[in-house]
A and B are shown apart, each in its own frame.
Chain A
């Protein structure tokens, strides 16, 4: 069975602070895919990044960076110099390579960035 844990329910920061959102996953599959999505207050889900299990290279995209650590089954997301527009709920998700196509989402972390 797959599981995604986002232990931080809500994080509150002041603008320009750096913030890291944690994601820990469990899967028996040797090949799997990890995703992060952003859900702003308007409600839509916005794809941020995909990471394959066989690619442990970390990624940076502007103020966003992702740290994939296979050894600890974590795929953490850092926002550098946070801005008010970063306020949203962020979901981490996992899809395995076994027979199922069903993705597993974490419960989400609500990030509030205060001006």
Chain B
């Protein structure tokens, strides 16, 4: 069964460093997302990406964040200068495109990357 994969599973970085989190969405999916979950808290939407551009982003997704689809398979989230409060689990998700409202399609989540900023 196709699945979303994410690397690395755990990333430790120092405050102020740049990190890139990588995701490989399901191959025939066209909508991509990043979410974060601070330990023990709810899942928060960061950004959605479609047709090679950001379709929507939340208030959390400020200038320190960027996303890219550098090739036909990878989808990356970059944090330019990490802060302590960026420590969280980051989930990538993808969903397919069809004839229905894209919001009706379920999102398939990757296993997450645990980011620890020290």
Contact = CB atoms under 8 A, between A and B. Distances in A.
Interface residues of B, number: 25
A100 B109 contact: no
Q: Tell which of A93, A97, A101 has the most Cβ of chain B within 10 Å.
A: A101
Interface of B: 41-45, 48, 55-56, 58, 89, 91, 93, 101-112, 114
Given A105-B43, A108-B42, A45 B91 contact: yes
Contacts of B55: 101
Contact of A44 (B42, B44, B110): B110
Given A95-B104, A102-B58, 18 more contacts: A31-B101, A33-B101, A33-B103, A33-B104, A43-B112, A43-B114, A44-B111, A45-B43, A45-B109, A46-B109, A47-B107, A47-B108, A50-B106, A97-B101, A101-B55, A103-B107, A107-B42, A108-B43
Interface string A42-78: 1111110010100000000000000000000000000
B91 A101 contact: no
A103 B56 CA distance: 11
Contacts, number: 60
A101 B42 contact: no
Contacts of B101: 31, 33, 97
Interface of A: 31, 33, 35, 37, 42-47, 50, 52, 91, 93, 95-97, 100-103, 105-108
